[in-house]
Structure 1
Amino acid sequence: MSQTQKKNSSNGETKPRTSFLNRFLRSSKFMSSKPESRTESNDLETTDFQPGNEAQKTATLDTAQPLTSEMECGPSMEEKEQFLQKLGRTAVDKCLDLNNCRLTAADLREAVALLPLLPDLEKLDISWNDSVGGNLHSVTQHLHLLSKLKILRLGSCRLTTDDVQALGEALGGITDLQELNLSWNSEVGGNLPLTLQNFQEGSKIQTLELVDCDLTSEDGAFVGQLLPMMQNLEVLDLSLNRNIGASLNSIAQGLRSTSNLKVLKLHSCGLSQEGVKLLDAAFRYLGGLRKLDLSCNRDLGGGFEDSSALLATLEHLEVLDLHQCSLTANDVVSLTQVIPLLSSLQELDLSANKKMGSSSENLLSRLRFLPALKSLLISSCALESETFTALAEASAYLPALEIFDLSWNKCIGGNLKLLLETLKFLASLRVLRLSSCGLVTEDMALLASVIHTGHLAKLQELDLSYNDGICDAGWAIFCQNVWFVKELTELDISLRPSISQDCGQWFGHLLNAITKLSEITEIGMRRWILLPSQKEELEHFYQDHRHNIHFDLGEVQQADFPRLN
């Protein structure tokens, strides 16, 4: 993952730096008695940091003196105990979460000084702190004191080869470790055996995450050899390691020994047709698998021919992600046979497989046999009239559907009426995306009618962007009725990047509707040009109503794009 330079807010400061412990005391994040959920922790992928100048200078100055020797100058035992008492949370003794705190080397020393006082610590998270890189030995030399440690997260810490080796030596002494996250540390690649060499047979590891670690094919082969030692493994994420596809034979063999595996993520791992078949042979040993992500493997197309029937053994599968996999017509035929057998499926993503457009009629019609389906993503699949008709008919039998993404399928324009029964009976629908679907005024009138009758009352996100064929009358009738969607939080009606257009009189109807939508916070209107009178209306709106609503009008000037008349 590319890293972006973060701002250094301390440049030019002359006053003494606030103690990390004092800042830590004021942090409401650390005061929480509950560790964050797995979903929240995985959101790290969206935030990138590099060390600021201050952190770099501090690390440079500290190289002349080991971190461990300076720990003696830290707070006294009594002061540390008082610090822990002031936190007022007993759970702190079990969870030290310094994720994304922009720690400097000095901060890290103070944090390390706490470790001997936390013998019951079960979770240590110092992810997304650049200063950890090159200084991890100060942490690893104390890990033997944390005999109850179960969760160790070191994602995006700029670990060096020396760090990786020090960690490998320390991990051998943490017998109860259940979760290890080393994601977004490129030096792990080529050095994975150094890190995991002390894992013993019968390891208690349940979660192993190595996302975007620049793993080599040799690392992949090592993972395959390691898997039989991890009988308790439930989550394995090797995503964004594009070179391990060459060692998939070893990984697939190892997976046969992980019968407790529930989550397998191989997003963008360079999988080929042959690789899919190797995995497919391993699936019969993974009857408890709940989530399978093979997305963004563009050479995978054709791999499901003659082999996907084995997916039927995954009877407990809840999430299947095959977006951007270059699925062929024959792949679709094979999937048509197995999809109806996955009765526990809750999320299905087939997006960005353009060859589905003319060959998926039977597959989409059989979606009606997935009553538990909550999320259906079929954007940019080049659907044709017949395939869209089959999808529309089947979707009416999906009562649990909450997320429905049909974006970038032009055949929907003028045919939204085919979804009428679906839109009427999907009482749980929260997200509807119809971006760049070629919608016309007739479609907007139909949507407005459905909204007016209260059939989309639970909708929270509605994306109608990049539909430039709708006239002012269509936008007006929609804006007059959108206020019936009481739980709406996000609405996007932006124009495509190549076009700008004057707002019609419907803008006033939109402002009036927003005053009745208590939950809405985001209105996407990029490339719509407000007339002077409409800008004045918007200013009055902000003066008279809530200020937590963001109108995203973009920064593009009127002259930058051709205007529609």
Structure 2
Amino acid sequence: MSLWVGGDLPSASCMDLASVLSSNQSLTELDLGANNLGDAGVKLLRAGLTHANCKLQKLGFEECDLTDTCCGDLADVLRTNQSLTELKLGGNKLGDDGVKLLCEGLKQNCKLQSLNLEECGVTDAGCGDLTAILRTSQSLTELDLSGNKLGYAGMRLLCEGLTHLNCKLERLRLCDCGLSAACCGDLSSVLCTSQTLTYLDLRRNKLEYSGMQQLCEGLKHPNCKLQRLGLEDCGVTAAGCGDLAAVLRASQSLAELDLRGNDSLGDAGVQLLCEGLKQPNCRLERLRLCNCGLSAACCGDLSSVLCTSQTLTYLDLRRNKLEFSGMRQLCEGLKHPNCKLQRLRVDFGHPTPEMEAELDAVKKIKPGLNIKI
């Protein structure tokens, strides 16, 4: 049973909710996001959340006007509640002091698998406490630190935990964390070492070409298990695509690559990427190239990929100026009997009769193909 409580729930109502939590054993998910509960509300909920009858598995406190003051109560919940596996605290001003208190609870027989600390004011100091958790937790598999200015010092500390043999983390989000190329050597070491990390989101960090080079060294390593990589708006250039192409040739695990918003990538970058995508060893299934400064000039290469790839099923080319000549080349690839694509997202503006005729021809040959214009 799931319960979402929207609107302006006063903290006083949390006493009633605590009573529900201590008596209703079928309630497994509670979302209190965007209510001004404050620390007082969490204090009132604590009695229900730590009750032996509470079977809650997922708890959401996003944007609830919380501070570090409530983190002692939340730590008690983490220590006591043996059913809670997901905790969302994004958009609250917990700071490093709050994270320190939370980590005390995470160390104590805690069963939490997923922790969201997006935009919680965490800095490099908080990363030291989180690193200790990564080294010891046998349950934590997902961590979201997006929107916290961790910087080089914070990332270096986190990577010490991520490279530890006991670390079980599978999914890590570091979107908009103030990271630069200087962090990529440590991240590359994580990719070479971790036997569990399969998803890494680095969106909106300025990694630039030197950072990409270092990351790609880790991605090419035979021990790398990464399946999904987010590089949206990371300053990836055409030169960086040469390194990514080498990854596509070598990696036996990478299935999804997000390069949206890298407008310096351009046709030259896609042409390099396509060299990797056409290789029989390439395992990529999903590729996002939205808003990458592409034109019709790269569509011949993309069409060749569509004819040869045995794994690519999703391609996003929105917000690029491909025009009719580019679309016509893409359609040739889409009609090819070897094409495995299932979904294409693309912008052509208002379709002309000629465009519609081309698309109709594709749909007749590939009725299962979903083309979203």
**TM-score interval for Structure 1 and Structure 2 normalised by the shorter chain:** 0.7 to 0.9
1:303 to 189, 204, 211: 211
Q: SS at 2:70's partner residue?
A: helix
Residues 1:448 and 2:367 aligned together: no
1:194-250 Cα offsets, whole Å, 9 max, x none, are 222232266433212211222223222322233212233211211122345541100
Residues 1:390 and 2:301 aligned together: yes
The aligned residue for residue 216 of structure 1 is: 123
Spell out the pairing of 1:128-527 with structure 2 (5 A cutoff). Answer: 128-133=33-38, 134-146=40-52, 149-175=56-82, 177-188=84-95, 190-200=97-107, 203-257=110-164, 259-312=167-220, 313=222, 315-357=224-266, 358-368=268-278, 369=280, 373-383=284-294, 387-399=298-310, 401-425=312-336, 426=339, 429-435=342-348, 442-451=354-363, 453-459=364-370, 462-463=372-373
Aligned mates of 2:245, 2:283 — CA distance in 1 = 18
**Which region of structure 1 is more displaced relative to structure 2, 270-279 or 409-418?**
409-418
Aligned mates of 2:263, 2:273 — CA distance in 1 = 14
**Which region of structure 1 is more displaced relative to structure 2, 232-241 or 126-135?**
126-135
Question: Which letter does structure 2 place at the counterpart of 1:283?
Answer: L
Question: Which letter does structure 2 place at the counterpart of 1:154?
Answer: F
Gaps of 5+ in 2: none
Aligned residues: 365
Shift of 1:371: 6.4
Q: Compared with structure 1, are the counterparts of its residues 233 and 166 closer, same or farther at alpha carbon in structure 2 (3 Å cutoff)?
A: closer
Check whether the contact 2:260–2:289 (CA below 8 A) recurs between aligned residues. yes
Check whether the contact 1:182–1:211 (CA below 8 A) recurs between aligned residues. yes
Check whether the contact 2:32–2:60 (CA below 8 A) recurs between aligned residues. yes
**What is the TM-score with the length of structure 2 in the denominator?**
0.85
1:250-303 Cα offsets, whole Å, 9 max, x none, are 001111125432211111111110112211111122233222211111244420
Question: Which letter does structure 2 place at the counterpart of 1:275?
Answer: C
Identity of aligned residues (%): 24
Aligned mates of 1:328, 1:401 — CA distance in 2 = 22
The aligned residue for residue 32 of structure 2 is: 127
Check whether the contact 1:225–1:250 (CA below 8 A) recurs between aligned residues. no
Q: SS at 2:59's partner residue?
A: strand
Check whether the contact 2:134–2:168 (CA below 8 A) recurs between aligned residues. no
Residues 1:100 and 2:6 aligned together: yes
1:18-74 Cα offsets, whole Å, 9 max, x none, are xxxxxxxxxxxxxxxxxxxxxxxxxxxxxxxxxxxxxxxxxxxxxxxxxxxxxxxxx
1:461-507 Cα offsets, whole Å, 9 max, x none, are 622xxxxxxxxxxxxxxxxxxxxxxxxxxxxxxxxxxxxxxxxxxxx
Check whether the contact 1:349–1:376 (CA below 8 A) recurs between aligned residues. yes
Q: Compared with structure 1, are the counterparts of its residues 105 and 307 closer, same or farther at alpha carbon in structure 2 (3 Å cutoff)?
A: closer
Aligned mates of 1:205, 1:281 — CA distance in 2 = 26
Aligned mates of 2:203, 2:156 — CA distance in 1 = 19
Aligned mates of 2:124, 2:167 — CA distance in 1 = 24
Check whether the contact 2:209–2:239 (CA below 8 A) recurs between aligned residues. no
1:379-403 Cα offsets, whole Å, 9 max, x none, are 2222355543222211223455443
Aligned mates of 1:124, 1:409 — CA distance in 2 = 41
Aligned mates of 1:245, 1:443 — CA distance in 2 = 49
Shift of 1:328: 3.3
Spell out the pairing of 1:76-91 with structure 2 (5 A cutoff). Answer: none
Q: SS at 1:185's partner residue?
A: coil
Gaps of 5+ in 1: 1-91, 464-565
- Larger RCO (CA under 8 A, 6+ residues apart): 2
Aligned mates of 2:89, 2:293 — CA distance in 1 = 38
Check whether the contact 2:296–2:321 (CA below 8 A) recurs between aligned residues. no
Aligned mates of 2:315, 2:239 — CA distance in 1 = 25
Larger Rg: 1
The aligned residue for residue 21 of structure 2 is: 115
Spell out the pairing of 1:52-91 with structure 2 (5 A cutoff). Answer: none
Q: SS at 1:232's partner residue?
A: coil
Q: SS at 1:380's partner residue?
A: coil
**What is the TM-score with the length of structure 1 in the denominator?**
0.58
Shift of 1:376: 1.8
Check whether the contact 2:207–2:236 (CA below 8 A) recurs between aligned residues. no
